[in-house]
Amino acid sequence: MTVRVSHTDEVQQLFRQASGLDNDQGSPRLKQLTLRIISDIARIIEDLEVSDDEFWKAVDYLNRLGGRNEAGLLVAGLGLEHFLDLLQDAKDAQVGLSGGTPRTIEGPLYVAGAPLCEGEARMDDGTELDQATVMFLEGVVRDTDGQPVAGAVVDLWHANTQGNYSYFDKSQSAYNLRRRIVTDAEGRYRARSIVPCGYGCDPQGPTQECLDLLGRHGQRPAHIHFFLSAPGYRHLTTQINLAGEKYLWDDFAYATRDGLVGDIQFVEDAAAARDRGLDGSRFATLEFNFQLQKAPAPKAEQRSARPRALQGA
């Protein structure tokens, strides 16, 4: 028989005191959240009859998760980051906001301060050309009426051929495969880069440990992340997953959405490659256009204030 004590006056007072609700210092918002969290945890312990051993294994797991800086990875893998997008979609629908390129998760691997380029950019540092396929990416940023948005900033980043990201992978040069591109008068951006590789969670890491216990894989399809911003327009966080990838519709992070699949084309043409300044004959092209919503308020022009690498540096 399940024993319950969380409803008693003694425990309720304990949790209120632990949450700081018996003093007038600190953050009222954090107090409210803390009380809800510890109260819900207590009910989970009671309802599911969590043992002491299970509880302390969970505490140890959280310690290891933080020690490996994988909390941002786990919340994506458990669908919580995608849930935030679904919730915002519902909020938008409630107030009549619609149209534009769909949002999707940011992920934990953005680095602020990438080089700013006008109209076009080369993103890779050339160190993987012996194994990578050169990719030419371009597109137009428009508003929901179809008009080009000049001066929009397309902030994009992606993994290398090993599925690793610069800054977090110390073997790569600074800001490799990371750029900010300002759209031209026609709203166009262009980038030369390399085709990214899909990747999975560290098989020895705590995120994959959790996924294994859930009977799930930790793989992602090849993809490219984007922030898009322009004065008067709503900031967009999104990414495109590349067509043809094994995990395109089975992304462990739930980032693939209708309207966010990039139709990458692989070309074998030596003459066309030479025209693009390449040796050999193989390259890839990818066109992806974006639509931005008008900002309902100035705050909507800004990206979220979540902590990010080098933000504010």
How do residues 127-174 score in pLDDT, each as one tens digit? 999 999 999 999 999 999 999 999 999 999 999 999 999 999 999 999
Would you state the pLDDT for residue 192? 99
pLDDT digits (tens, 9 = 90+) for 46-105: 999 999 999 999 999 999 999 999 999 999 999 999 999 999 999 999 999 999 999 999
Query: What is the β-pairing status of strands 223-229 and 236-242?
Result: antiparallel
Give the span between the Cα atoms of 97 and 103, in whole angstroms: 13
Cα–Cα separations (whole angstroms), residue 57 to 60, 64, 80, 112, 211: 5, 11, 22, 35, 16
Give the span between the Cα atoms of 21 and 229, in whole angstroms: 40
Give the span between the Cα atoms of 191 and 122, in whole angstroms: 6
Would you state the pLDDT for residue 74? 99
- E strand or H helix at 88: helix 80-94
Instruction: Give me the mean pLDDT over the 9-24 stretch.
Output: 98
Residue indicated by tokens 């949002």: 103
Residue 259 · residue 238 · CB < 8 Å: no
The CA dihedral of 72, 74, 77, 83, to the nearest 10 degrees, is: -60
Who contacts 299 (Cβ-Cβ below 8 Å, separation ≥6)?
none
Give the span between the Cα atoms of 114 and 121, in whole angstroms: 11
Residue 200 · residue 208 · CB < 8 Å: yes
The number of residues making up the chain comes to 313
Would you state the pLDDT for residue 185? 98
Would you state the pLDDT for residue 312? 79
Query: What is the percent of the chain with per-residue pLDDT over 70, rounded to a whole number?
Result: 100
Give the span between the Cα atoms of 291 and 145, in whole angstroms: 9
Q: What are 229's strand-pairing partners?
A: 153
pLDDT digits (tens, 9 = 90+) for 265-296: 999 999 999 999 999 999 999 999 999 999 99
Give the span between the Cα atoms of 220 and 239, in whole angstroms: 12
Instruction: Give me the mean pLDDT over the 211-222 stretch.
Output: 99
Burial class (CB within 10 angstroms; exposed 0-12, middle 13-18, buried 19+) of 224: buried
Residue 258 has pLDDT above 70, yes or no: yes
Cα–Cα separations (whole angstroms), residue 16 to 4, 28, 29, 35, 203: 18, 12, 13, 6, 40
Residue 1 has pLDDT above 80, yes or no: no
Would you state the pLDDT for residue 313? 66
Domain boundaries along the sequence of the chain = 1-50, 74-301
| Matching CATH number, 74-301, of 1.20.970.10, 2.60.130.10, 3.40.50.300, 3.90.190.10 | 2.60.130.10
Query: What is the percent of the chain with per-residue pLDDT over 90, rounded to a whole number?
Result: 99
The amino acid at 100? G
DSSP string for residues in 117-160: EESEEE---STTTTTPPEEEEEEEEEETTS-B-TT-EEEEEE--
